[in-house]
Amino acid sequence: MDNCNSLIFTETWLDSATPAAATELAGRTNYRADRTADSGKKTGGGLCIYLNDSWCTNTTVVEQLCCPDVEFLMLKCSLHCLHSA
């Protein structure tokens, strides 16, 4: 897992009652899209994306959607440029 630049989880079952501190991973920034009442479902769902802090900066959430048919979380980030010596 140390070499992963992104980790993406679906069906997290996280909701607004789950504190951000409970889902933190060292060296990574966490972006969540918890299932909302708009989905029409009572359980399941939710998305969670972790980005490695040494790989990506200036990340913003472009758009997210939670409805009965689809859930998505779109991010935009600037990748660090790695130059070989």
Q: Are 14 and 31 in contact (CB under 8 A)?
A: no
Residue 63 lies in a domain: yes
**Is the confidence at residue 52, as pLDDT, over 60?**
yes
pTM of the model: 0.84
Residue 34 lies in a domain: yes
**Is the confidence at residue 82, as pLDDT, over 70?**
no
Query: What is the band of 33 on the pLDDT scale with cuts at 50, 70, 90?
Result: very high
How many domains in the chain? 1
Average pLDDT value for residue range 58-72: 91
Residue 1 lies in a domain: no
Domain hosting 33: range is: 6-79
Residue 26: exposure state from Cβ atoms within 10 A (0-12, 13-18, ≥19): exposed
Question: Which range, of 6-10, 33-37, 47-51, averages the lowest pLDDT?
Answer: 33-37
Residue 18 lies in a domain: yes
Residue 46 lies in a domain: yes
